[in-house]
Amino acid sequence: MTKITKPVVTDTMPVLSVILIAPETFSTIRTTIRHLRAQANYDRLEIIIATPVPNLAVDEAECSGFCSVIMVYVPGATVTGAFRAESVRHATAPIVVIGEDHSYPQAGWAEEILNGYSNPAVAAVGVSVANGNPEKMLSWSNMYFCWGPFIDPTPTGPRMSLPPHNTSYRRHILLEYGDRLEYFLSSEHFLFPDLLSRGYILFLNGKARTRHCNPDTWAMVALLHYNGARHFAGMRRQQGWHWWQCGFHAVAAWLRGALKIVKSLKHIHRTQQLRRLMPMALPHLTIMAILHSWGESVGYILGTGNASERYTDIELRGHAALQ
């Protein structure tokens, strides 16, 4: 671990640590860094840059003004959970945010995240999501398929889940997971129900907004949905399931795919986008559901295979073209 900048004020501690992954160069996270610097309280933000690259060259001008910037070298990591878990261990703020190189915080984002922790029982605060690349219909369809309940505008309040990869957590609660933290941060869909089972609250603050760039080519959509679903199902399968449980969920995956179409249409209606997106979004959503169900079924039957690595690669490198 190497700290590359010093706090602006030595007696000031960061209130928020934002975790970003730079798989090859600093340029992939530059746009997100600029949006973070636009926050009113950016001098109280700590930036954690996780990377598999030793001595990653960082643009110090872009990083100037933050409370601190820490580079965490994670050699040999092949899944996002490994980068994020190690970053959480090195963060110094009480609240850590999982950030992305293709998700851009909007004005007031940091302040509203902190406001969401007024209740001590809140373990995680999520944000509302807007479209960062609205030019293509495929981007809209993908956003509603993946982010439906969280799409701006969305009500503020307790939730059963939050937007993965764009949620903040109390750091001390994450550290309680110890060696299991990598597993839970590899797919936060496992983390959310575990936090709820422990009596914690998941809170979404609709006033905290980010603009998320979504896959807008079919090649990226296919890779992301198939491998992401197989990664998720394969990880569930590793929890000592019996063959009949795997078979049941492999079949049920197709029903869940159909339900995701229905839920996506519900949120298109909720956000008053029916005229803009229909009927073109429907065939897009159908193909995404098929890809998702296919990947999930294969994951339950055959395991993750190399889907976890492929999913991580498209998450970390495939979105570069969208920036």
Q: What is the pLDDT of residues 1-60, one digit of tens each?
A: 555 544 444 457 999 999 999 999 999 999 999 999 999 999 999 999 999 999 899 998
The confidence score (pLDDT) of residue 316 equals 85
Q: Under a CB-based contact definition with an 8 Å cutoff, are residues 178 and 110 in contact? A: no
Q: Which of 136-145, 162-171, 305-314 has the lowest mean pLDDT?
A: 305-314
Q: Which of 71-80, 148-157, 209-218 has the lowest mean pLDDT?
A: 71-80
Q: Under a CB-based contact definition with an 8 Å cutoff, are residues 266 and 144 in contact? A: no
* Burial group, residue 219, by CB count within 10 angstroms (0-12, 13-18, 19+): exposed
Q: What is the pLDDT of residues 76-104, one digit of tens each?
A: 888 999 999 999 999 999 999 999 999 99
For residue 304, pLDDT beyond 50? yes
* Burial group, residue 252, by CB count within 10 angstroms (0-12, 13-18, 19+): middle
- Report the pLDDT averaged over residues 108-136: 97
- Report the pLDDT averaged over residues 276-296: 97
Written as one string, the DSSP assignment of 226-283 is: HHHHHHHHHHHHTTT--HHHHHHHHHHHHHHHHHHHHHHHHHHHHTT-HHHHTTTHHH
Q: Under a CB-based contact definition with an 8 Å cutoff, are residues 98 and 20 in contact? A: no
Rounded to the nearest 10°, the torsion over CA 291, 292, 295, 297 is -110
More confident residue, 317 or 247: 247
CA angle 138, 144, 147 (to 5 degrees): 125
- The tokens describing 161, both together, are 């889940």
Rounded to the nearest 10°, the torsion over CA 129, 135, 138, 140 is 30
What domains are there in the chain, each with its CATH number? 2-212 (3.90.550.10), 218-322 (no CATH)
- Report the pLDDT averaged over residues 292-309: 96
Amino acid at 294: W
- Report the pLDDT averaged over residues 244-272: 97
The confidence score (pLDDT) of residue 108 equals 98
The confidence score (pLDDT) of residue 317 equals 79
The confidence score (pLDDT) of residue 1 equals 54
Closest Cα partner for 152 from 272, 299, 24? 272
Global pTM?
0.94
Q: What are phi and psi of 114, to 5 degrees?
A: -65, -35
Rounded to the nearest 10°, the torsion over CA 19, 40, 168, 4 is 20
The confidence score (pLDDT) of residue 5 equals 46
The confidence score (pLDDT) of residue 76 equals 87
Mean of all residue pLDDT scores within the chain: 94
